[in-house]
Every structure is written in C-alpha cells, then in structure tokens.
Amino acid sequence: MDTTELIRAYQTMRTIRLFEETVVTLVNANEIPGVTHEYIGQEAVATGMCAALGPDDVLTSTHRGHGHIIGRGADPGRMFAELMARVDGLNHGRGGSMHAADVSLGIYGANGIVGAGAPFAAGAAWASGAPGAAGEPTTDRRVRRVSVAFFGDGAINQGVLLETFNLAAAWELPMVFCCENNGYAVTTPAAASAKVTPSERATGFGLAVREVDGMDVEAVYEAAQWAVDHARSGRGPVFLDCRCYRFVGHNTGEHMLGLQYRTHDEIELWRGRDPITAVADRLRGHGLADADLARLDDEVQQHIDAAVTFARASASPEPATAMDYMYATPTLTTATRWGHR
Amino acid sequence: MDTTELIRAYQTMRTIRLFEETVVTLVNANEIPGVTHEYIGQEAVATGMCAALGPDDVLTSTHRGHGHIIGRGADPGRMFAELMARVDGLNHGRGGSMHAADVSLGIYGANGIVGAGAPFAAGAAWASGAPGAAGEPTTDRRVRRVSVAFFGDGAINQGVLLETFNLAAAWELPMVFCCENNGYAVTTPAAASAKVTPSERATGFGLAVREVDGMDVEAVYEAAQWAVDHARSGRGPVFLDCRCYRFVGHNTGEHMLGLQYRTHDEIELWRGRDPITAVADRLRGHGLADADLARLDDEVQQHIDAAVTFARASASPEPATAMDYMYATPTLTTATRWGHR
Amino acid sequence: MTVMRYQKALATAVRDEMAADPSVCYLGEDVVHSLRGVSSGLAAAHPGRVKDTPISEAAFTGFATGAAMAGMRPIVEYQIPTLLYVAFDQIVNQAQKIRLMTGGQTRVPVTYLFPGSGARLGLAGQHSDHPYTLLAHMGVKTLVPATPQDAYSLVRSAIRDDDPVAVFLPANCLPRKGDVDVAVTVPIGPAAIRREGTDVTVVAIGHLVHEALAVADDLADQVDVEVIDARAAHPFDWHTLTRSVTRTGRLVVLDDTNRTCGWAAEVAATAAEELFHHLRAPVRRVARADVPMPFAPVLERAVVPDREAITAAILETAKA
Amino acid sequence: MTVMRYQKALATAVRDEMAADPSVCYLGEDVVHSLRGVSSGLAAAHPGRVKDTPISEAAFTGFATGAAMAGMRPIVEYQIPTLLYVAFDQIVNQAQKIRLMTGGQTRVPVTYLFPGSGARLGLAGQHSDHPYTLLAHMGVKTLVPATPQDAYSLVRSAIRDDDPVAVFLPANCLPRKGDVDVAVTVPIGPAAIRREGTDVTVVAIGHLVHEALAVADDLADQVDVEVIDARAAHPFDWHTLTRSVTRTGRLVVLDDTNRTCGWAAEVAATAAEELFHHLRAPVRRVARADVPMPFAPVLERAVVPDREAITAAILETAKA
Ligand SMILES: Cc1ncc(C[n+]2csc(CCOP(=O)(O)OP(=O)(O)O)c2C)c(N)n1
Ligand SMILES: Cc1ncc(C[n+]2csc(CCOP(=O)(O)OP(=O)(O)O)c2C)c(N)n1
Ligand SMILES: [Mg+2]
Ligand SMILES: [Mg+2]
C-alpha cells in the first residue's frame, strides 16, 4: 500500500475500533438493545478486503458484522442509529446489529444464522454475469460484480456454507470466501470442531486458496486484490483463510458469564499484534509524525462522536409501523390481518 | 476371496439382481405401489461392503437401498412383502422401498432424503464406544460396532452429509463412508455438480480415503475390510469412493420419461463390465463348472420365487391400524386425536 | 382459450414468463432434462438462465435470494415437497424476513415451485407431505392452484410478485384438464367461488376443491353446498369467506395437511372468532390424520381426507 | 421442596437424569462451558457423555437419532430457537417419522432443548421466534414448561420418554423463581389448571401463563378467570379444556407464535368444532402478529401478546 492507501486503511481500522468501543459503552448503558458481537482485533480483515472491492461488488456479513459494514463505507451515524433502533438507522430500526445492511453499498446484510448469508453472495455473483441480470459481463469477460462472503472458522462446519463452496467452485462464480479464522466459535476452539484447517477444507472443494495473516492489513489487501482479480477475470472463486483473533468476548455480554476458554497469555500474545498499532508503526515508517497520527485519531473521534449524536437525535419508530416493510407487494388480505391481533 | 467367499458373493449378487428384476416386474404389474430405485449394476458394492461387516455393525442406506438391505442379509420374502405393502413386510407395510429397514440386522433404514441417513450412522458409531451406550469398547480398544453410511455421488453436495464427514473426522468415529459413485444424480453428471472428485472432497475433511473399483466385488471387499478394520481399531473414519454404474434408469418409472442423459455407448460399455458376469468368470477360474453356476442360479431363483410367494400370501394392513407405531410412548391425548379426523 | 392439462398450464406459465422477462431464471435439480415436466425446452430456449443444481437445497435457495436481491427473478423447483424442510431456514428465516429486517431496502422476488405436492398413493413417509401450512404460518405467500387456469395465472402472478411466493402444485391436480385463457390474470389474494350454494360453505384448497365439488354434486338433492377455492393458504381471503358464511351459517374446511395446527385450523378459528354469531352449527374440519404417511395404500387412504369423510362432515354440518 | 429459579430447575433436571441413567448424553454448541447455563458441571461429572458439537445442527441432530436408535438417550441443545429451521428435516422428516416408517422396529428417545426461546426485547428477526407450533403441526411432542417445577419435572419426563420430545424454555421464564419438589413427576399430556374461575377460560402456554395469571388477578373484581396452562403444545389436553369450557362457555387462547395457523388456532378450531354448543361468546385468540420480529423494542412490544391485549380479549369475551 502506498502512504495514501495506508492512511485510509488506518482511518478505517480506527473507525471500526472506535465504533466498536462505543458500541460496548452504549450496550452497557442500555442505549443499544439486544446483543452485539464486537469486531475488535479483526479490523485488518474487513479493511483490507473491502479496500480491494469495486463499487458494484457485493458482500454478505455475519453476526460479527459491524467491521464489514463500516469497512465497506456505510455511514457510522446511520449504523449507530440502527443499533439504537432508530428510524434513521440503515434498516430504519428493523434489523439491529445482527441484520444491519446497506444494500445501496452492496452490503447484503449481517446475518444471525452462521453461514446463511454466503449463498446470497453466490447468487449475486452469478447475477452479475447472467443474462437478464442487472450486470452483464463486460466485453473483456471481466464481470462487473464480484461477491465476498465473510464468515468465521466456526461456520466452515455448517452445511449451507459447505454447499455454497461447492456451488461456487462447480459454477466458477466470481466470488471470494473470506474466512475470518479467529480460532474460536464462541468457546469452542476451531481444532476441536474440525480435523483440518479451513484452507485444507476449501481445497477439497476446488477453491483457489490462500492463507493470509489477518492481523496485517497490507497482507490482507494484497491477498484480497489477487482474489478479487482472480474472481473478476473469470478464473473462479477464491478462499482466503485469514488468521486473526478477537481481543474481546464473543459478544458484549460474555464477560458476565465468566467463561474461561482462552488463557490470559494467549489473549495478551495476540493483543501484542494489534493490527492498528502495526499500521501506526508502518505509517511512522512512511514518515508520519506522532502528531499526524494523533490528528487522524482525532478526526475519527469527531466522526464517531458526531455519529452518536446523529443517532441519539433520531426518533424511535412508531408502534403502528410495526408491520411496515413486510411485503413488497402487499395484498388486501395480508394487510388486513394486522387488525386481527 | 477364497472360493467359498466368492461363491457367497456370487449368490448375494445374483440374489440382489434377481430381486431387482423381479421388483421391476412387480412394479409394472402394479403389485408394488410407489417408486423404486433399482440397484442393478451396483451389486458388487453392497456385496463387498457388507461381507466385511460384523454382526453388531450398523448401516444406513439410501433411496436406492434394496441392494444394501439384501446384501446385509435381510430376508427377501419380508423385503418383497414390505415393497408390496403387506403386514409381514420388514416394516409391516409402513415404509416401502424408500424406508425399508431391518433394525435387528443393524440396517437403520433406506432414506427418501439424499444424505440424511449418514448422521444416524455417525451417532450409532459413537454410541458403540460411548459410556452408557449398549456397546462398550472392548478392552483392546477395538469398538464393538462400526457404522457404514452408503450414499451416492450426488449426495456429496448435500449439507448434512458434508457436516457428517466433518463430525466423523473431528470425533474420530468408527465409521465408513461408502460412496457409490455411479456418475449421475438422476440426469445430472457428477462432474457438472462438483469441481472435485468425491475422494478429493473427502480428503479435505480429513477422512482416510481410498478409491475402489466398484464393479469388482473382490476389490470392494478388500477395501472394505481395510476400512472396517481402520475404523474398528480406532484409527478413525474412512471414505471409500466406489466407482460404479447403474445399468437401468434412476427409478422404475424413468423409461416412461424418455430422458436422454447417458449415451447408449456409455451404458453398453459399463454393461460389458457386469460385476456378476465377472464373478462368474472368476469362479470358473476357481474351478466351478457352468453346471455349478447354473445350480447356484437355480437356487437363487427358487429363493426369490419362494420370497414372492411368501409376500403375496401376506395380508394388507387393516385401515384401522393406520396410526400404529406412531409413538413409542403414547399419551392419552395423542391417542384420542385419531377420533377427530 | 384452449383446453390444457394442469401440468402443461404450469409449464406454459413458466415458459411465458421466461420469454417475457429476461430476469426470470430457473433453478433446480434435473431441470435441464425437465424431470418434473415443468421446464421442458427451457434450457434450449434460454441458455444460461436454466441451471441444474447440485443436490444442495439450502444453498441454491439462498443463491436464489442473492440473485433476487441483485435484480433477477429466480424460480426454484424442488424435486420433492419435503425438500422444503432441508431448505427451511433459507426460506422462512432468510428470504422471507430480509425485506422487513432491512427496513425495506430490498425485495426478494423468488418463486418456489413444488410440483407434485401431497400424497400420490404409495410414496410413503417422506414423499407425501403437503407442507403449505408451515409456510403460511411463517407468513410466506403460499399458493395452491386447483385448476389449469389457476396453475397458469397464479404461477405468473407468483413470478411477477416482488416477494417470495411458494406454489404447491398438488400431484392429484397435475393430470387434470381444463380451459386456459392465457390472457386471464389471477391476482394473489382473492379466493374463487367454484360453486354457489345456500346451505353449507365448504372451503377447500388444491385438489380438495375438486373433491368438494364432486361431493357437492352428489349431495345436490339434499344440501346446497357452496364451494370456495381458497387458492392461497396465505394470504387468506376473509372477505369471501365472511360473505359466504354470513349467508349459509355453516362451515366445513378441507385441508390436506396434518389436522393439528393445520391450515383448516386457521380458517375454523377465525370463523369462531369473527363469524360466531352467524354460525348455526359447529365448524367442521376434514384434514389429514396427525401421522407420517404410512406406505401401504390402504393405510394412506385411511389418513387423507376422502369423499366419504367430506360427505359425512357436510351432512353432519347441514343437519346440526 | 426448595425455591429454585426456572433456569436452575432445568439444569437440575438434566443433571439428575444424567446421574440416574448412563445412557443419557448431552450434545450442543458450547455446552462444555455451558454458554446457555443448562449444562454447567456436566462435562466434568460425565466425561465423554457431554459433547461440544461443531456448528452443524443438521448433522448433530441426525447424530442424536442414530445414537438413540443404538440405545442412548441423547439430549440436544440448540443455542437459538430458530436453529430448529436448520435442523428441520432431521427432526420432522427423520427422527419423528422413523418409528412409524420402520413399523415400530425402533424408538428415537431424543430430547431437543431450546433454552431461551421466544422474544427477549431486542433480539430481532432471527433470534425471537418461538417455533413450537411448527413441531406441534408435525406431530412432535412439544412441551413449553411455564414454572420451575414443570421445567424440572417435564424435562425429566421428556428425557425418559421413548419418542422425540422438543422442549421450549421461554426466555421470559428463565429468571422466574418457584417451589420445586424433585420427587414430583409431571407426565407429558395433562394440562394444569393454574387458577380456577367460572366466567372465562384462558388457555395459555409458557410465559403467557404468567401473563394470564397477572391479568386474571387484575380483573378479579370484574371477571372470574380460569387459567389453564397447556404445558404441551402437542399433545393437547382436550379433556381439561372441555371440562372448563363446558362450565365457563367462554374461551380466550394465548399464543406466542404467529397468529396464522398458530397453536391458538388449533385450540380455537377444536373448540368451535367440539364445544360449539357450550360457547356463549366468540372464541378469542391473542397471538403474535404475522410478522418477523422487528428489532426496535417499541415495535417488538407492538407485535407480541401483552397484558393490554390479553385484558382486552378477556373483557370482550366476558361481555360478549
Ligand atoms: C447455524 C448457527 N448455529 C449456531 C449459532 C450460534 N452462534 C452464533 S455465533 C457462533 C460462533 C460462530 O463462530 P465463527 O463462525 O468462528 O465466528 P466468530 O464468532 O468467531 O466471528 C455461534 C455458534 C448461529 N447463530 N447459527
Ligand atoms: C435432499 C434431496 N434432494 C433431492 C432428492 C431427489 N433425488 C432423489 S435421488 C436423487 C439423486 C441422487 O443421486 P446419487 O446420490 O448420486 O444417488 P444415485 O441415485 O445415483 O444412486 C435426487 C436428486 C432427494 N431425495 N433428497
Ligand atoms: Mg471464529
Ligand atoms: Mg449417483
């Protein structure tokens, strides 16, 4: 990455981190209802991956989706508003953390069911080259749209995702499987749930595979560029096995349960590899002064503060609108059922 | 295989073949209701695999299950009776072709849903060594029960089977995945549905894999012995990729549809490798005369004829018994619902 | 207007929509060779828009969702009705919910086709279900056309609808013949009164509409039966039901799903709530017994709604 | 007799059955660390009989089926109620049907636990369902204990039952406290009359039993409400219902699943069929609106049955 790109990556990663730290505060203050899963520690993956995407590309996200959504460029204000269940939220307060989406940016949504979003990415990838779909293949055989499916190491044991690996490989879909291999599915170590690594499994489906240091945004970006180009140029789907770590609990509430499935040492070891600190160090290598970094941090802080202010100012939905958005083509009789409650 | 074993294999294969030919006749004569999927051409797989099993071993079968069930030693009379929906059927006329089972022989059933039986095999395999389960591990760490899951090449794209591959590998279950790779899922060639071979896929889950000539009963038997021993001795699950072919349509009714997905030449090529003819030839090599073979054939014919006679003599279930066997522990209220029809 | 078999009308609807709209595509197992007779000739006419899928119902259902969000209008064919269960999460928890969950940011115009749904003597436990109730309960628009005209027109409406729509095409309807006018539009929603009558309202769906009509004719000199074809398990046309029951005061509901919490329960329950003061006799349901389909045809006949049970219910209701 | 939280009673039932019967085992995601609080300490007490599963609901559900056929009595825990949809085929099309399909050759004694089912303010579209109706419709024995005593005793009955039994443990019940006598057996089947009354029969299930009781107390000087806790969505105790409605002539049914074809529909429909001549007022259902759960708590409150709606339904019924 050149300096400009690296600065942008730093800004994105800082934004995700601060967004997430703010989310934790807001959850604990009961300003955000429900359950959220923080992306803290994994910022390099979403940032590097999204940096390689073009404007028409599509992504599907997970329960741990904030990083992908912010990384892809969604407005933090509307994202906070969504998490805070406000009408100006991305989903008008209908989705919350686990279903946040910004379809205008190709974000087909977080998902509460592990693995379940991946086939959407496959379908969208296909539509980009299918006759009649919005995106015809361009003349040089490069497709307009590449899809990225994000998922964790735990997801690779879920049937629908495995089926999607196969579908993508068999149909040579222009898509990238981005496995955020943080080593755990909630409390369960990846190795307890599978005899092979994610890469080995993906190879067995005929996907092109690369292992990536998911704590290094430049490594992710480089791999992502290769992967997206591979897919876009019609050479078929790619699987990126991004080794990373979450610095915090599975979700905001985990600390209350007192679970002991990772050692203090292990957590500290990975925290020592903080992907944001790493980029800051590199930026210093690119000639940025501490003051420059402080200014960047400050900008992010202001951005997030403004976002929270925006969200707080947004209204709650009206109870009478609870059935809104249910059907795109309402029929007389579906509509009247509401009265029957 | 020594001569005795080979003769037994010949008898089994002939029995399956004649059973299936008789089924076709009975379906066409409307003596068997519903849909049946014939095993004709694949006899070597079930025969070789079942020959390697011990008395406590378990198998799960498929929609194309007659071969597995006869191969495992179920009574053809009770099997015909089941297909003819009679009270003396293995399932008392409740299951039919797609659900035929003989649990006393460890046959946990044919299955109408592709891939769906495999996890039962995994669970039964686990129970064989689990504390409290019927079968404790023997002292030499060899487990009492090995499970075999049969399935086709089309099934390896089905989520539940892929998840079961993983479960078996991760938990080192004593089980054998027996893939009957006949090259097609109904009309769809295996290569159109997957970029890799079944073996490659299975390797990617960490299963021990062997490719087998599924038209050669001795090759299957040898591989099956290895596989069962591998599983029984605690070395983990095995995947056998048995290359074979079905000589007839996907099911008895296919010929009425006039589908053209396999060439005449391809079918003839494989028919030229008829696994039963091959065994007959080898038996001649073992010194059997044509008359000996004719006598064996004759015995099989008599056996099947008697089986059909038995089945035809069996009564239809009484309509009033339609809810029988629904619950193992009926409750007052579940029972009374019948009256509400 | 031509006479057409139901199965042909269904196939023609798909063919006409594929021709009319390049964003319509067709996915399923063995659809290129048209194993189920819905997609004959489609692959040749529209190469690239007809895809044989691997045996991966969950994934190809989700695939259709994503393609729909990206601008296509996929039709997904399931080879067996119970494959709904394998794809269940992808239909009821994903495709169906995405629009509301995203606050209306997207539409999911997918049509799920279940040709040959319901029982067909001898298909046993896993091939005889008729699971339209499950989808109705989950709020999915769920159609069960009874006639060739409806097979044609409702399937076209389903494909043009901007929401997920499931269409069950009962095995017992596929061979039926009837007039089909391709110019006729049948919207999703309104029921059809197939026979007017004054004594008893019979609400039926799918092939049971024809059973109801046959019984009504048989009983014509004793009871004047009104037969309503619901057409959709969801949404249900309460207006037409209300008008009819207000006149007859008597209601029998026919349903080819398990009796407990089945579709007929909804109709009967709503009648008990909203039409109570019009009812002159207890509501009656004729539904499947709560049991997996036993294989033996003699047992199958004992657990599905048949003319005998329908006749008994109508007579009992008329006389109560 | 001790005072226990519902969640603790549930965990104790599992612990006691594991101790009593070596063929009972426990499977699910993160059960070794007991993420859902049901399996605390089990893995240490019974090494080998408690297994953390990969995120493979379909496979581990089928795994339990096979283990059950081989002599075990597995308990399967699902981390989210809607994971039922992912495992749907393996429960409703496999485990539930195998016994009948094999003509009684085998039993499938598996218990499916759904701790924390239903809505819990803010869990949104895919974590708020309460899908007991789906299983009841498919004939699966389906329990929804309301009290700590029932959480203890019904879970034990479920584990000892020789058929698949699903148990939904409503999120809104988990923190409740109550007396638990571990010597008490509660069989699967009979409902419980939680409050006797003469004016209106209210049938409820799960946490709605407590809502019903609270409303009944509130209304005590206007209406004398009888509250029946169904305990099981299937089988339903028609006998107890009949006895009650025969006296009160008025029925309100509370249901935490989608209204359309929901469990309340079954109760209301059967009442309209069998108790018609005893009914003095229209039956009323209070159920969820037919909509995926919207995230915003204010919207969630608008679509689930609440005391206001229950009160209105009871008063309306009492006065009709
Ligand atoms: C199909 C399914 N099973 C279980 C869950 C409950 N659950 C939510 S997140 C999670 C762990 C996911 O692990 P992984 O895929 O590695 O993602 P990570 O949380 O590590 O980012 C589980 C089990 C779910 N949401 N969906
Ligand atoms: C999950 C599922 N999907 C689709 C079907 C319909 N179907 C029955 S058999 C079959 C093909 C199976 O192919 P394969 O596994 O190769 O077995 P074969 O028939 O070749 O023995 C299909 C698609 C089904 N029964 N179950
Ligand atoms: Mg993980
Ligand atoms: Mg095959």
Write out the H or E segment, with its range, that includes residue A133.
Answer: none
Task: Tell me, using a 6 A CB cutoff, whether residue B113 lines ligand 2.
Answer: yes
**Which class would CATH give D192-319?**
alpha beta
Question: What's the pLDDT band for B331 if we cut at 50, 70, 90?
Answer: confident
How many angstroms separate the first and last alpha carbons of chain B?
57
With a cut of 60, say whether residue A135 has pLDDT above it: no
CB-count burial class (<10 Å; 0-12, 13-18, 19+) for A139: exposed
Whether B332 sits inside 8 A of D74 (CB atoms) is no
Q: Residue A144: which pLDDT band, with cuts at 50, 70 and 90?
A: confident
Q: Is the shortest distance between the CB of A183 and ligand 1 below 6 Å?
A: no
Helices (H) and strands (E) in chain D — how many of each?
Answer: 13, 14
Query: Hey, which residues of D are catalytic here?
Result: 57, 127
pLDDT tens for D231-260 read 999 999 999 999 999 999 999 999 999 999
How many Å from the N-terminal Cα to the C-terminal Cα in chain A? 57
Three-state helix/strand/coil letters over D63-96: HHHHHHHCCCEEEEECCCCCHHHHCHHHHHHHHH
Q: Average pLDDT in the A266-285 region?
A: 97
Determine the pLDDT at residue B337: 40
pLDDT at residue B217 greater than cutoff 80 = yes
Structure confidence by residue, pLDDT tens digits, C249-300: 999 999 999 999 999 999 999 999 999 999 999 999 999 999 999 999 999 9
Which of these, A327, A161, A121, A56, lies nearest to C67 by C-alpha position? A121
**What burial letters (b/e) apply to A106-137, b meaning 16+ CB within 10 Å?**
bbbbbbbbbbbbbbbbbbbbbbbbbebbebeb
Contact B159 A157 (CB under 8 A): no
Largest Cα span, chain C: 60
The terminus-to-terminus CA distance of chain D in angstroms comes to 43
Of all residues in chain B, the one with the smallest CA distance to D237 is B333
The three-state secondary structure class of C284 is strand
pLDDT, position A140: 52
CA B305, B36, B314: angle at the middle one, nearest 5?
45
Domain residue spans of chain D: 2-180, 192-319
Q: Which residue has the tokens 């998840």?
A: B163
- Which backbone phi and psi does D288 adopt, to 5 degrees? -70, 150
Q: Where do runs of H (alpha helix) occur along A104-216?
A: 118-127, 159-170, 190-193, 198-203
- CB of B112 sitting under 6 A from ligand 2: yes
E strand or H helix that includes residue B15:
helix B3-28
Which atom of ligand 1 lies nearest, measured to the CA of A37?
Answer: 19
Q: Do D126 and C93 touch (CB under 8 A)?
A: yes
Ligand nearest to the CA of B66: 2
Place of tokens 């994903």: C94
C295 vs B contacts (CB less than 8 Å)? 33-34, 82, 85, 91, 93-96, 99
> Is the pLDDT confidence value at A341 over 80?
no
D2-180 architecture in CATH?
A: 3-Layer(aba) Sandwich (3.40)
What does DSSP assign to residue A84? T
pLDDT bracket for residue B132 (50, 70, 90): low
Nearest CA in chain C to D285: C273
Amino acid A339: pLDDT: 42
What percent of chain C stands above pLDDT 70? 100
- Gap from CA of D310 to ligand 3 centroid (Å): 43
Cβ pair D237, D187 in contact under 8 A: no
Q: Which of B125-134, C92-101, C185-194, D25-34 has the lowest mean pLDDT?
A: B125-134
| Contact state of B201 with A205 under an 8 Å Cβ cutoff | yes
- Which of helix, strand or coil describes residue B289? coil
Reported as a single tens digit per residue, the pLDDT across B88-108 is: 999 999 999 999 999 999 999
3-state secondary structure of D255: strand
In Å, what is the CA distance from C80 to each residue of A5, A123, A168, B257, C128?
52, 22, 24, 17, 9
**Model pLDDT, residue A141:** 56
Q: Is B226 exposed, middle or buried (0-12, 13-18, 19+ CB in 10 A)?
A: middle
CA atoms within 13 A on the CB side of A110: 30
SS3 of residue D253 by DSSP: strand
Question: What was the pLDDT predicted at A136?
Answer: 47
DSSP category for residue C109:
-
DSSP H or E segment with residue C76: strand C73-77
Cα gap A281→A289, rounded to integer Å? 10
CB A97 within 8 A of CB A66: yes
Mean pLDDT of D10-25: 97
Do B81 and B312 form a contact (C-beta atoms < 8 A)? Answer: no
Please answer whether residues C133 and D263 qualify as being in contact, where contact means their C-beta atoms are separated by less than 8 angstroms: no
Q: How far is C141 from C148, CA to CA, in rounded Å?
A: 20
- Radius of gyration from C-alpha coordinates of chain D: 19
Chain C: nearest CA to D29, how far in angstroms?
18
The rounded Å distance from CA A64 to ligand 3 centre is: 10
State the pLDDT at residue D320: 86
Show residues of chain C in contact with B260, CB under 8 Å.
Answer: 33
Q: Distance from the CA of C65 to the center of ligand 4, in angstroms?
A: 28
- D67: contact with B, CB 8 A cutoff: yes
* Residues D41-88: tens digit of each pLDDT: 999 999 899 999 999 999 999 999 999 999 999 999 999 999 999 999
pLDDT score recorded for residue D291? 95
**Which residues of chain A lie closer than 8 angstroms to D83, CB-CB?**
113
Reply yes or no on whether the pLDDT at B137 is more than 60: no
Instruction: Check CB contact under 8 Å for A194 and B160.
Output: no
- Minimum CA–CA partner of B335 in chain C: C290
Query: What mean pLDDT do residues D192-220 have?
Result: 98
Report whether residue B186 contacts ligand 2, using a CB cutoff of 6 Å.
Answer: yes
Which string of b and e fits C164-189 if b means at least 16 CB within 10 Å? bbbbbbbbbbbebebebebeeebebb
pLDDT exceeds 80 at position B340:
no
Contact (CB<8Å) C103/A119: no
The number of angstroms, rounded, from the C-alpha of D152 to the middle of its chain's C-alpha atoms is 13
Two tokens at B154? 């089309």
Entry pTM: 0.98
- Residues less than 5 Å from ion ligand 4, measured at CB: B 152-154, 182, 184
For C3-15, what is the mean pLDDT?
Answer: 98
pLDDT at A333: 57
The answer regarding whether domain B3-337 maps to CATH 3.40.50.970 reads: yes
> Mean pLDDT, to the nearest integer, of D177-192?
97
Split at pLDDT 50, 70, 90, the class of B131 is low
Residues in C closer than 8 angstroms to B34, CB to CB, are: 121-124, 295
Q: Is B153 in the pocket of ligand 2 (CB under 6 A)?
A: yes
As a whole-number percent, the residues of chain D with pLDDT over 90 amount to 99
From the candidates C17, C29, C57, C266, which is the catalytic residue?
C57
D83 lines ligand 1 (CB under 6 A): yes
CA distance C179 to C189: 21
Q: How many CB pairs under 8 A join A and B?
A: 69
Stretch B197-220: mean pLDDT, rounded?
A: 98
Task: Give me the residues of B, 256-285, that contact C with CB < 8 A.
Answer: 257, 259-261
E-strand ranges in B114-232 read 147-152, 175-181, 184-185, 188-189, 208-213
Is pLDDT of C242 > 80? yes
Which residues have CB under 8 Å from C189's CB, separation 6+?
A331, A332, A333, A334, C232, C235, C237
Helices B290-313, B3-28: inter-axial angle, 10-degree rounding:
40
Q: Is the CB of D35 under 6 A from ligand 1?
A: no
Residue entry with tokens 């995947």: B239
Q: What is the spatial distance between Cα B233 and Cα C146, in angstroms, rounded to a whole number? A: 58
Cα gap D246→B27, rounded to integer Å: 53
The residue to mutate among B63, B160, B164, B261, having the most atoms of ligand 2 within 8 angstroms of its beta carbon, is: B63
Angle subtended at Cα D149 by Cα D147 and Cα D153, rounded to the nearest 5 degrees: 120
Tell whether the model's pLDDT for residue C105 goes beyond 80.
yes
How far apart are alpha carbons B162 and B194 in whole angstroms?
13
How many other CB atoms are found less than 10 A from the CB of residue A287?
Answer: 8
Q: Is A186 in the pocket of ligand 1 (CB under 6 A)?
A: yes
Distance CA D56, CA D73 (A): 20
CA distance linking residue A310 with residue D223, whole number of Å? 49
Chain B residues close to A167, C-beta within 8 Å: 157
Report the pLDDT value the prediction gives residue B133, as an integer from 0 to 100.
Answer: 57
Residue with the nearest Cα to atom 17 of ligand 2?
B152
- Contacts (Cβ under 8 Å, ≥6 apart) of C182: C12, C16, C152
Of C127, C207, C210, C234, catalytic? C127
Would the pLDDT of A130 be above 80? Answer: no
- Ligand 4 centroid to B153 CA: how many Å? 5
Give the separation between CA C44 and CA C126, rounded to whole angstroms.
Answer: 33
Mean pLDDT, to the nearest integer, of C101-120? Answer: 97
Name residue A132's beta-bridge partners.
none
- Axis-axis angle for helices C238-248, C263-274 (nearest 10): 60
Q: Is B333 on the interface with C (CB under 8 A)?
A: no
B257: burial class by Cβ within 10 Å (0-12, 13-18, 19+)? middle
Q: What was the pLDDT predicted at C310? A: 97
Q: Tell me if A48 CB under 6 Å of ligand 1.
A: no
What is the rounded CA–CA span in Å between residue C312 and residue B340?
Answer: 13
Predicted local confidence at residue A128, as pLDDT: 82
The neighbour count for residue D31, using CB atoms within 10 Å, is 26
Q: Is the pLDDT of residue A338 over 50?
A: no
Mean pLDDT within D150-168: 98
Tokens matching residue A142: 């490069």
> Which tokens hold the place of A150?
């994000």
- Neighbouring CB atoms inside 10 A of B281's CB total 12
Contacts 24+ apart (CB under 8 A), B24-29: B24/B248, B24/B252, B26/B80, B26/B83, B26/B84, B26/B308, B27/B252, B28/B252
Using a CB–CB cutoff of 8 Å, tell me whether D51 touches chain A: no
**DSSP string for residues in A192-251:** HH-SS-HHHHHHTTT-EEEEEETT-HHHHHHHHHHHHHHHHTTS--EEEEEE---SS-SS
Q: Which of residues 302-321 of B touch D (CB under 8 A)?
A: none
**Pairwise CB contact (< 8 Å): C106 & A166:** no
- Please check the confidence at residue A131 and state whether its pLDDT lies above 80: no
Question: According to DSSP H, which parts of D237-306 are helical?
Answer: 238-248, 263-274, 297-303
- pLDDT for residue B141 is more than 80: no
Dihedrals phi, psi of A322, to nearest 5 degrees: -60, -30
Cross-chain residue pair B112–C56, CB shorter than 8 Å: no
